[in-house]
Each structure stands twice: as structure tokens, then as C-alpha cells.
């Protein structure tokens, strides 16, 4: 016979009725062990002939274990335990006993299977180190009395005496909540209550290893450093907590709800001198734990000092607002030489400037709302690297970004200087003077914004121009909705009061701009003015333009510096105000306009022909 590769054990949950249970593996008579784990966790070994009987087992189909009594809800474990002996004896000169020999081999295989299962079971329950490592020997019983094991900074197992050199005593929950014990160990699992209530101070914890474990595993709250809701300014104690976290190597600063708001009277610094990596996360509770800026000027949160690079800072679930006098300057979140940083679920209210980044690398923002109701200047988001300096910005991405300027005069987003790789996926600039502006004082490709990509960008109610590209290289827009004065607006900015075109592409140092799909228009003059080089519009709708004076502006204007343009499968709707779908300056050159649908023009399809411009396939529609 043979022995199949089957697990030699099986578990069941007793239902209080069933007595017969299958043992689906081969076993020898008397080699089945049965144990029961009761609901309370106690384990009882059952005895063959007293608590259970067995039948079968001489094939790979196994046999049956029949209980004499059952306990509902208990866990029944059936295991094969073949006796470790060798009973086979060979008589010299007799015929070879093939059947008996095979039985002995089967018995050995049964034992091997049971040993494999036992080793695997021990491995599943044991605390092990990776291959190639070892923990060494434990101290003798006398040497390890009244101490507890601890892994040091090198990962080696050490043993630390309890407080006072005596036995390890853990603080009770009331003691932990009150913070009254300086002689008992505050293990992380034991300090959950006071971490949540934030009523104990760090200096009340006597054991430094336990303190480090708490900092690294659970983080800090300002209350653990002594903050009170009655404090006039929480910034100093918040900065103290940040300093401790960075010094400890990493951690989270929690800003939980408290009586009143967190009062911020000076800058919160997410960096520390001498530490390149902050490895810091600041997590709030949204509008349940607001951060109130007490001044009319100054920066609220700073990541980096602008001199040394800083890495790994996350801000999450923060609500910042101007609670003192109206903001006249200053930035809500300032990043300088910041790398690998994340801003998520951030709201700022009453901002003069929401987020400003200088010399960034790999900075990501998502679910950000910037509310600027009172500012006649300022910028919701400003990404900058000075072309005259040594720094640069690479890779800045915003997903679901909203800047609401309330028609007061602020800019939505400005990208300036030596900046590469600014991307948005879902950005909304509402009531801004300009929704988006790309510019620079530099004149080389390396010193102007380049390789920027804007998807699902919406500009609504722009007071001047929706999108302005003054200097940029290889900029792409897809599925965007750019408009100036769509819909009714608040006084003193009624619809169509002082805006210009909806999209402006400048004449100098602007090259390779691509617009795919989307809609541009709802403005006083042209929907788009093109003065740069190599501009492509594919499947874009230009609509509802020339609101300033019907019959004075075209839908699309190609200026004298336009060179190498391509408009394909676009639609131009003039609403009975635009003179022509396209206005082409005589000096505009080297262009292709193909397959245009147009309607609602006062005069006709095109005004001007330019130089070396292929303009064919247009269709007047009447739908």
C-alpha cells in the first residue's frame, strides 16, 4: 500500500448534536489523539475508549472518530500520533516479506508527516527572526527575574530592569488617565486612554524606552507637552512636540478637538536644524479642531527654512482660518526646499496666500480648498523657483484643488520661474482675477515653466483672463472649462464688466502648447488669443465670446507672432456677437485649420489668411 500526502490533523466546531467526525487520513489503531478547546479557552485531552472510539483508518480515506458526549461551541481537534517504534524483524534466509516491509515504510511515512505538521505548528506560534539572524541565549533564570525584554536601536534583544530595579508594574487605567504614577511602566497598550484624552505630560513618564515606543507608535498631542485650552498661544507647545518627534526619528502629531480652537500666534515649523528628514505627520480633525491664526501678517505653517532641504512631511485633515484681523500678507502653508511631502484634505479660510512652494521636489496635494473672500491681491497657490538662483522645482501635483476668490481680486494658481512638472487633475479656480498664470523672468527653456499638465481644469468668473501663458514650454490642457464671466456675479463685478479674452498665449518664450477637448469662452473679447509658437487645439469648443461689443471680436484670434499652429475638429459658436470664427493676422504663419464647425457669426467664417496657412474643411451648422 501507499500513503497519500494528506495533513494528519483536522479541526471541527461542535454543534452539541453531532457525535461522529471524519478523520480523513490514514491511521493505525490506537494512534488518534483528540482534544477539546472549550469556549472559555481551556483545553481538555480526551481518552480513547472513555471519551471517544475510532473505526477504519487503514486506507487514505481515513476513518471515523465517534464521541460519547459533545459540547456545543467547543473546538474539536483530531490528530494522528503514531507511536515511535520499529517492530519489524527480518528472519535470515526467509523469503522477503514485501507486505510487512511496505507496512514498516508506511509507518515511517506517517511519523514523518506528523513531524512536519508539528514543526509547522510550532513555527506558526513561535516568535522568529529572519533567516541569517539570531537572538542569542536567554539569561539564566536568576538574571532575568524582574526585568522585561526590549529590542534596542540595533534590533538586538536586551533586558531592562523595571522602575527602581524591582518587578515590572504597569500603571492602571485610572493612574494612566490621571498621570499620577512616575514609578510604573506606561506601555503603549496601557496608555491608550491618556493618549486619547491627552492629559498626561511626557515628563511624567519615567522610562525612556517606553517613552520612545509611545512616540514612535502612537505619536503625540500638544496636551502631552503641557498644552491647555486656556493658553493664549499654542504655537510654542506645538513646536515643542514637533521637535520631540523629529528628534525621536519619526512620528505623528495629533491635533484633536479641544475646548475652543487651536490658537496659532507664531509659525508652526515642520523642520528642525540638523535634521534633513523630518519624517513628520501632522493630523487634525477638520473643522472639529480648527487652527486659528491670530495675526494679520506672517506665515502659519512652514515646511523647510529655505536654506537646508527637508524631506517627508505630511499634513492631513487641517482646517486653517484667519481669526485675528483681516490678512494683509503672509502665507497659510509655506514650503521651501521641501521634498516628498503630502498635503491632504486641507481647508484654509480668509487666506491672503494659501499655499506657496519654493524649490520643491515631489510635493503632492489632494482635496484642498482655499477660501480668499477679502483679498484684492494674493495667490491661492504659488509655485516658484528663481531663475537667478540655484534651485529648481520638479514634480508638483494637485488633485481636486479649489480656490474660491469671491470676485475680490486674488489669483488662483501662479507657476513662475524654473519649474518643471506641475500637474493638476481636477482644479477649480472660482471668482479669481486670473485662474491660472504661467510666467517667468527667465529667457531660456530651463528657466521657464515646462512640461506642465492641467486636466479637468475649471476657471469660472475670471475678472481679467481665465488662463494666461506668458512664458512656458510644452504645456498641455485636457478636458478643461475656461470661462470669464459665466453666470450672475456679485456686486461690484456684474457679468461682462472688465474681463478680456478667456485664454491668452503670449508672444515671447511660449512654445508647444496643446489643448485637447474642453470648452473656452464666455468672455468680453476673443475666446482665445494665440501669439506663441506651435499651438495645437484638438476637438475644443470656443463659445459665447465678444460680450463687450457684438461684431467687434472673432472667436479665435491668431496674432502676428503665431507660428506653427494647428486647429483640428474644433467648434466655434459666436452667439450672434463674434464677427468671424477665426481672425488671422497677416503675419501669422505656418498653420493648419481643419474640419471646423461654426455657427452664429455676424460676418462669416474667417477674417484674414495669414502666411502659409491651410484653412480647409469648415462647415456652417444651424443646429
In angstroms, the CA 73 to CA 512 distance is 72
In angstroms, the CA 528 to CA 522 distance is 11
- pLDDT confidence of residue 198: 42
Averaged pLDDT score across all residues of the chain: 86
| More confident site: 204 or 361 | 361
In the 8-state DSSP scheme, what is residue 76? E
> Which whole number is the average pLDDT over 567-586?
94
Do 430 and 507 share a domain, yes or no? no
DSSP strand pairing (157-161 vs 589-594): unpaired
With a cut of 80, say whether residue 158 has pLDDT above it. Answer: no
Which of the four pLDDT bands, split at 50, 70 and 90, describes residue 214?
Answer: low
In a domain, 133, yes or no: no
Do 232 and 325 share a domain, yes or no? yes
Q: Is the dihedral of CA 490, 494, 500, 504 positive or negative?
A: positive
Do 435 and 340 share a domain, yes or no? no
The closest alpha carbon to 449, from 457, 441, 458, belongs to 441
In angstroms, the CA 36 to CA 21 distance is 13
The closest alpha carbon to 503, from 546, 466, 452, 533, belongs to 466
Q: Which residues does 133 contact at the CB level (< 8 Å), separation at least 6? A: none
Give the long-range contacts of residues 332-336, CB within 8 A, separation 24 or more.
Answer: 332/293, 332/299, 332/300, 332/301, 332/370, 333/300, 333/301, 333/303, 334/299, 334/301, 334/302, 334/303, 335/302, 335/303, 335/304, 335/360, 335/363, 336/302, 336/303, 336/304, 336/305, 336/306
120-129, 244-253, 312-321, range with the lowest pLDDT: 120-129
The closest alpha carbon to 338, from 354, 317, 320, 314, belongs to 314
Model pLDDT for residues 476-512, shown as the tens digit of each residue = 999 999 987 644 444 554 544 567 899 999 999 999 9
With a cut of 80, say whether residue 581 has pLDDT above it. Answer: yes
Distance of CA 549 to the CA centre of its chain: 48
- pLDDT confidence of residue 144: 72
In a domain, 531, yes or no: yes
In angstroms, the CA 47 to CA 214 distance is 48
Do 408 and 435 share a domain, yes or no? yes
With a cut of 80, say whether residue 182 has pLDDT above it. Answer: no
In a domain, 117, yes or no: yes
> Which whole number is the average pLDDT over 539-558?
87
Omega before residue 492 within 30° of 0, cis? yes
Which of the four pLDDT bands, split at 50, 70 and 90, describes residue 236?
Answer: very high
In a domain, 134, yes or no: no
State residue 336 phi and psi, 5-degree precision.
-130, 125
Do 209 and 251 share a domain, yes or no? yes
With a cut of 80, say whether residue 170 has pLDDT above it. Answer: no
With a cut of 80, say whether residue 522 has pLDDT above it. Answer: yes
With a cut of 90, say whether residue 152 has pLDDT above it. Answer: no
In a domain, 599, yes or no: yes
Distance of CA 492 to the CA centre of its chain: 40
In a domain, 588, yes or no: yes
Do 479 and 504 share a domain, yes or no? no
Percent of the chain past pLDDT 70, that is, above it, reads: 86
Domain's final residue, options 347, 380, 406: 347
- pLDDT confidence of residue 519: 96
> Which whole number is the average pLDDT over 303-323?
94
| More confident site: 192 or 479 | 479
- pLDDT confidence of residue 289: 92
Q: Left, alpha or beta for 26 (phi > 0: left; psi -120 to 50: alpha)? A: beta
Q: How many helices (H) and strands (E) does the chain have?
A: 5, 44
In a domain, 2, yes or no: no
Do 343 and 202 share a domain, yes or no? yes
**CA of 613: how far to CAs of 216, 589, 608, in Å?**
66, 6, 10
| More confident site: 88 or 10 | 10
- pLDDT confidence of residue 485: 66
- How is residue 62 written as a grid cell? 481515513
In angstroms, the CA 17 to CA 251 distance is 54
Domain's final residue, options 484, 514, 543: 484
- pLDDT confidence of residue 357: 97
Which of the four pLDDT bands, split at 50, 70 and 90, describes residue 251?
Answer: confident
With a cut of 60, say whether residue 143 has pLDDT above it. Answer: yes
**CA of 373: how far to CAs of 195, 265, 322, 484, in Å?**
37, 22, 11, 18
What range does the domain containing 388 cover?
Answer: 372-484
Threshold 0.75, pTM exceeds = no
Residue 544's CB is within 10 A of a number of other CB atoms, namely 24
In a domain, 186, yes or no: no
State residue 12 phi and psi, 5-degree precision.
-135, 155
Percent of the chain past pLDDT 90, that is, above it, reads: 59
Q: Which residues does 600 contact at the CB level (< 8 Å), separation at least 6? A: 573, 574, 575, 576, 577, 578
Do 250 and 341 share a domain, yes or no? yes
In angstroms, the CA 33 to CA 51 distance is 11
- How is residue 237 written as a grid cell? 507647545
Do 76 and 108 share a domain, yes or no? yes
Model pLDDT for residues 326-370, shown as the tens digit of each residue = 888 999 999 999 999 999 999 999 999 999 999 999 999 999 999
Do 466 and 409 share a domain, yes or no? yes
Q: What count of residues does the chain have?
A: 623
HEC assignment per residue over 10-50: EEEECCCCCCEEEECCCCCCCCEEEEEECCCCCEEEECECC
Strands (E), 489-610: 503-505, 510-516, 519-521, 528-530, 533-538, 541-543, 556-558, 566-568, 571-573, 580-584, 589-594, 597-599, 604-607
The closest alpha carbon to 474, from 522, 419, 400, 412, belongs to 419
Model pLDDT for residues 80-126, shown as the tens digit of each residue = 888 877 777 777 877 777 677 777 677 777 777 777 777 777 777 77
DSSP strand pairing (20-23 vs 333-336): unpaired
- pLDDT confidence of residue 141: 76
Do 508 and 586 share a domain, yes or no? yes
Domains: count for the chain: 4
Angle, CA 475 vertex, CA 365 and CA 590 arms, to 5°: 170
HEC assignment per residue over 593-610: EECCEEECCCCEEEECCC
> Which whole number is the average pLDDT over 29-47?
91
**CA of 289: how far to CAs of 222, 255, 260, 286, 381, in Å?**
13, 7, 8, 6, 24
Do 200 and 339 share a domain, yes or no? yes
The closest alpha carbon to 250, from 334, 158, 153, belongs to 153
Domain's final residue, options 450, 484, 518: 484
Q: Is the dihedral of CA 445, 446, 447, 452 positive or negative?
A: positive
With a cut of 60, say whether residue 187 has pLDDT above it. Answer: no
- pLDDT confidence of residue 95: 76
- pLDDT confidence of residue 483: 87
> Which whole number is the average pLDDT over 8-36?
92
In angstroms, the CA 598 to CA 324 distance is 53
Amino acid at each position: 500500500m501507499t500513503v497519500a500526502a494528506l495533513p494528519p490533523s483536522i479541526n471541527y466546531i461542535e454543534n452539541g448534536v453531532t457525535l461522529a467526525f471524519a478523520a480523513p487520513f490514514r491511521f493505525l489503531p490506537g494512534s488518534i489523539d483528540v482534544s477539546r478547546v472549550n469556549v472559555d479557552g481551556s483545553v481538555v485531552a480526551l481518552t480513547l475508549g472513555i471519551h471517544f472510539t475510532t473505526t477504519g483508518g487503514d486506507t487514505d480515506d481515513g476513518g471515523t472518530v465517534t464521541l460519547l458526549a459533545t459540547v456545543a461551541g467547543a473546538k474539536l481537534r483530531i490528530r494522528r500520533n503514531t507511536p515511535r517504534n520499529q517492530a519489524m524483524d527480518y528472519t535470515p534466509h526467509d523469503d522477503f516479506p514485501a507486505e510487512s516491509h511496505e507496512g514498516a515504510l508506511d509507518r515511517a511515512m506517517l511519523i514523518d508527516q506528523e513531524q512536519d505538521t508539528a514543526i509547522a505548528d510550532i513555527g506558526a506560534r513561535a516568535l522568529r527572526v529572519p533567516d541569517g539572524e539570531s537572538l542569542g541565549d536567554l539569561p539564566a533564570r536568576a538574571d532575568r527575574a524582574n526585568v522585561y525584554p526590549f529590542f534596542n536601536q540595533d534590533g538586538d534583544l536586551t533586558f531592562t530592569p523595571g522602575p527602581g530595579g524591582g518587578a515590572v508594574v504597569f500603571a492602571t487605567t485610572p493612574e494612566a488617565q490621571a498621570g499620577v504614577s512616575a514609578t510604573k511602566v506606561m506601555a503603549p497598550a496601557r496608555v491608550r486612554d491618556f493618549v486619547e484624552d491627552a492629559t498626561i505630560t511626557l515628563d511624567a513618564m519615567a522610562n525612556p524606552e517606553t517613552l520612545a515606543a509611545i512616540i514612535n507608535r502612537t505619536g503625540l498631542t500638544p496636551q502631552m507637552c503641557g498644552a491647555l485650552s486656556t493658553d493664549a498661544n499654542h504655537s510654542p507647545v506645538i513646536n515643542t512636540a514637533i521637535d520631540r518627534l523629529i528628534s525621536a526619528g519619526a512620528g505623528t502629531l495629533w491635533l484633536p478637538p479641544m475646548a475652543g480652537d487651536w490658537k496659532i500666534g507664531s509659525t508652526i515649523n515642520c523642520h528642525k536644524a540638523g535634521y534633513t528628514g523630518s519624517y513628520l505627520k501632522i493630523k487634525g480633525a477638520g473643522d472639529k479642531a480648527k487652527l486659528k491664526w491670530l495675526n494679520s501678517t506672517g506665515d502659519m505653517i512652514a515646511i523647510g527654512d529655505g536654506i537646508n532641504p527637508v524631506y517627508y512631511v505630511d499634513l492631513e485633515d487641517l482646517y486653517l482660518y484667519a481669526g485675528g484681523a483681516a490678512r494683509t500678507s503672509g502665507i497659510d502653508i509655506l514650503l521651501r526646499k521641501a521634498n516628498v511631502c503630502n498635503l491632504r484634505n486641507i481647508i484654509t479660510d480668509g487666506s491672503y496666500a494659501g499655499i506657496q512652494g519654493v524649490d520643491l521636489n515631489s510635493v503632492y496635494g489632494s482635496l484642498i480648498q482655499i477660501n480668499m473672500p477679502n483679498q484684492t491681491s494674493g495667490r491661492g497657490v504659488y509655485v516658484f523657483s528663481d531663475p537667478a538662483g540655484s534651485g529648481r522645482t520638479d514634480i508638483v501635483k494637485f488633485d481636486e484643488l479649489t480656490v474660491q476668490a469671491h470676485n475680490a481680486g486674488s489669483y488662483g494658481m501662479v507657476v513662475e520661474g524654473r519649474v518643471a512638472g506641475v500637474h493638476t487633475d481636477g482644479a477649480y479656480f472660482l471668482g479669481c482675477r486670473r485662474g491660472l498664470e504661467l510666467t517667468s523672468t527667465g529667457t531660456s527653456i530651463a528657466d521657464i515653466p515646462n512640461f506642465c499638465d492641467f486636466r479637468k481644469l475649471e476657471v469660472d468668473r475670471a475678472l481679467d483672463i481665465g488662463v494666461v501663458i506668458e512664458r512656458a514650454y510644452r504645456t498641455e490642457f485636457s478636458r478643461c472649462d475656461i470661462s470669464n464671466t459665466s453666470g450672475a456675479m456679485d456686486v461690484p463685478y456684474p457679468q461682462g464688466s472688465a474681463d478680456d479674452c478667456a485664454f491668452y498665449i503670449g508672444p515671447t518664450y511660449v512654445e508647444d502648447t496643446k489643448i485637447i477637448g474642453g470648452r473656452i469662452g464666455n468672455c468680453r473679447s476673443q475666446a482665445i488669443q494665440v501669439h506663441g509658437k506651435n499651438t495645437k487645439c484638438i476637438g475644443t469648443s470656443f463659445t459665447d465670446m465678444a460680450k463687450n461689443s457684438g461684431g467687434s471680436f472673432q472667436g479665435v484670434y491668431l496674432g502676428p507672432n503665431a507660428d506653427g499652429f494647428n486647429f483640428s475638429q474644433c467648434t466655434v459658436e459666436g452667439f450672434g456677437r463674434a464677427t468671424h470664427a477665426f481672425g488671422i493676422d497677416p503675419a501669422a504663419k505656418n498653420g493648419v485649420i481643419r474640419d471646423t464647425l461654426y455657427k452664429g457669426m455676424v460676418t462669416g467664417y474667417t477674417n484674414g489668411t495669414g502666411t502659409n496657412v491651410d484653412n480647409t474643411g469648415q462647415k456652417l451648422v444651424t443646429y
